[in-house]
Structure 1
Amino acid sequence: MSEVRPGHVLRVVSYNVRAFKDDTDALVDLVRMMDPDVLLVQEAPRHPFAGHRIARFAQQCGLTWSDGKRGWMSTTLLTSLRVHLHDCVHRNLVVRKGDEPRGYALATVSLPGHRPVHVASLHMSLRSDERKLQADTVLGALQPDAMPAIIGGDLNETPGHDVWKLFGQTLHEATPDAFTFPSTGPVKRIDAIFASTSLPHSQPLFALDPAQLARATDHLPIYADFDLSSLAK
Structure 2
Amino acid sequence: MTQSPGVPLRVVSYNIHSQRDDTAALAAVVREARPDVVIVQEGPRRFRWRPKSAALAGSFGLVVAAGGLPALGNLLLTSLRVRVVAEKCQRFPLTPGRHLRGAAYAECVVAGAARFTLAGSHLSTDPAERPAQAALFKRELDAAVTPVIAAADLNEGPDGPAWATVAHGLTDAAVAMDRADRLTYSCAQPRRRIDALFVDPRITVVDYDVVDTPQTRRASDHFPVLVDLLLPAAD
TM-score under structure 1 length normalisation: 0.89
1:29 matched residue in structure 2: 28
Residues 7-39 of structure 1 show CA distances to partners (whole Å, capped at 9, x for unaligned) of 810111100011111100000000001111110
Residue 147 of structure 1: how far off its partner (Å): 2.3
Determine helix, strand or coil for the equivalent of 1:194. Answer: strand
Root-mean-square deviation (CA, aligned residues, Å) is 2.1
- Equivalences for residues 11-160 of structure 1 within 5 A: 11-66=10-65, 70-71=69-70, 73-143=72-142, 146-160=145-159
2:172 matched residue in structure 1: 173
Q: Which amino acid aligns with 2:219?
A: A
Determine helix, strand or coil for the equivalent of 2:215. Answer: helix
2:234 matched residue in structure 1: 232
Moved more, 143-152 or 101-110: 143-152
With over 3 angstroms needed to count, the CA separation of the structure-2 counterparts of 1:19 and 1:82, relative to structure 1, is: same
Aligned length: 226
With over 3 angstroms needed to count, the CA separation of the structure-2 counterparts of 1:34 and 1:123, relative to structure 1, is: same
8 Å contact from structure 2 (residues 152, 196) kept in 1 = yes
For 1:97 and 1:205, locate their aligned partners in 2 and report how far apart those are by CA, in whole Å.
37
For 2:28 and 2:215, locate their aligned partners in 1 and report how far apart those are by CA, in whole Å.
9
Residue 115 of structure 1: how far off its partner (Å): 3.5
8 Å contact from structure 2 (residues 45, 68) kept in 1 = no
8 Å contact from structure 1 (residues 124, 156) kept in 2 = yes
Alignment identity in percent?
34
Determine helix, strand or coil for the equivalent of 1:45. Answer: coil
Structure 2: segments with no counterpart, 5+ residues: none
Determine helix, strand or coil for the equivalent of 2:104. Answer: strand
Q: Which amino acid aligns with 1:153?
A: A
8 Å contact from structure 1 (residues 72, 101) kept in 2 = no
Residues 112-155 of structure 1 show CA distances to partners (whole Å, capped at 9, x for unaligned) of 23241111010001111221211111121122673211110200
Q: Which amino acid aligns with 1:232?
A: A
Residue 168 of structure 1: how far off its partner (Å): 2.9
For 1:41 and 1:148, locate their aligned partners in 2 and report how far apart those are by CA, in whole Å.
20
Residue 89 of structure 1: how far off its partner (Å): 1.7
8 Å contact from structure 1 (residues 15, 40) kept in 2 = yes
Structure 1: segments with no counterpart, 5+ residues: 1-5
Moved more, 9-18 or 60-69: 60-69
- In terms of fraction of residues, the more strand-rich structure is 2
Check if 1:215 corresponds to 2:214: no
Q: Where do 4+ consecutive residues of structure 1 move more than 3 Å?
A: 66-69
Q: Which amino acid aligns with 2:215?
A: Q
With over 3 angstroms needed to count, the CA separation of the structure-2 counterparts of 1:101 and 1:67, relative to structure 1, is: same
For 1:20 and 1:129, locate their aligned partners in 2 and report how far apart those are by CA, in whole Å.
28
With over 3 angstroms needed to count, the CA separation of the structure-2 counterparts of 1:86 and 1:133, relative to structure 1, is: same
With over 3 angstroms needed to count, the CA separation of the structure-2 counterparts of 1:72 and 1:193, relative to structure 1, is: closer
TM-score under structure 2 length normalisation: 0.88
8 Å contact from structure 2 (residues 7, 114) kept in 1 = no
8 Å contact from structure 1 (residues 193, 223) kept in 2 = no
